Structure 1
Amino acid sequence: MLGGRFQLAGDGEPVPATHVFTIRVEGKLEMRYLDFRDMGRIYWVEDPAKDVPGLAELGPEADTVTEMGIEAFRKRLRRFRDELKDLLRNQEFLAGIGNAYSDEILFEARLLPLR
């Protein structure tokens, strides 16, 4: 994982060294943001598409492909000329697929990454 993660914790539970900030949710319940590699980013903005760098350029989430429909997906696919693995990792094509997931997808589909 290259970014951080959220953790729900009770008040008084030890705070990990990777702790960045805490939001108290309900009384003694805390939502903590932990960042192991100091690579995650949190933005508190009114207009994410305008104020978060790179967000407007992201493609659709990978789990929306079925909703998109196969024809729309094929049309989108024609715009890119990358090798399969690079295409899957391209965040403008599909958002949220990194190196590990691209390997798993190609293995399950029995496709070579360099095609």
Structure 2
Amino acid sequence: MSMVVSPMLTGELSLVEPGKRILKSTILTMNLDDGMQIRYTDAKRMGQIYYLESDRLDEITRVADQGPDVLDAPLNLPDFRAALKRYRGEVKGVLTRGQLVAGIGNAYADEVLWEAGIFPFRKVTRLSGEEVMRLHEATYRVPTDAATKLQEIFGADHPRKERKFLSVHGKSGSDCPKCGSVISSVKSRQRDTNFCRSCQPGTMFE
């Protein structure tokens, strides 16, 4: 049997001692042979937990459709370009869907697109060859640099939700680190998107 946890936005697994206070957001507790516990918490209850036979994992849609992890060996530019051609939606939605690459959520999609200088609501079919090249580079470099930075600051046991060091996400009203313009915020599909209108020019309707 196998267990698959899809934590979504607020789900989190923690290794704790049995005596530690159980939070209201605790969904599942698993007792280990060494006396420790693994607890799954999810404040917004958006995640999913699957427990099924190991040979049925491909029946889980999010697992079967998931792309390669963004922190693994990156796709080369030709393969990335070919994979991107399968999609027709907005570039931020393509990044966060997890099918092109897995592991980029709302916050890091903002960071990737700001680094690449691409308007978040741009259709992927409208991206130029140069923009695809910049997107490819930023897609892998931004999460890798962030993981390295978090480990340098906090060590291996770093807080998963640390966002203070990000450049644009959650920084609405602040100055853009590149050009000094004000960081904008647009709420779309129940999530905030932060970007610089000067560094990432574009319109909502194309």
Same fold (TM over 0.5): yes
The equivalent of 1:22 in structure 2 is 29
SS at match of 1:72: helix
Residue identity matched to 1:59? G
SS at match of 1:44: strand
CA distance in 2, matches of 1:93, 1:56: 13
Residue identity matched to 2:24? A
Contact 1:65 1:73 in 2 (8 A): no
CA distance in 2, matches of 1:85, 1:38: 23
The equivalent of 1:55 in structure 2 is 63
Unaligned runs of 5+ in 1: none
Unaligned runs of 5+ in 2: 1-7, 123-206
SS at match of 1:49: helix
Residues 49, 55 of structure 1: alpha-carbon distance in 2 compared, 3 angstrom cutoff = same
The equivalent of 1:100 in structure 2 is 107
Q: Percent identity?
A: 34
Residue 65 of structure 1 deviates from its aligned partner by 5.6
Residue identity matched to 1:63? L
SS at match of 2:50: coil
Greater relative contact order structure (CA < 8 Å, 6+ sep): 1
Q: TM-score, normalised by structure 1?
A: 0.80
Residue by residue over 1:41-100, the C-alpha shift from the partner in whole angstroms, topping out at 9 and shown as x without a partner, is 1112222112x234212222223462x322211111222233322322233322232221
Q: TM-score, normalised by structure 2?
A: 0.48
The alignment covers a number of residue pairs equal to 113
Query: Which aligned segments of 4 or more residues in structure 1 are displaced greater than 3 angstroms?
Result: none
**Alignment RMSD, CA only?**
2.1
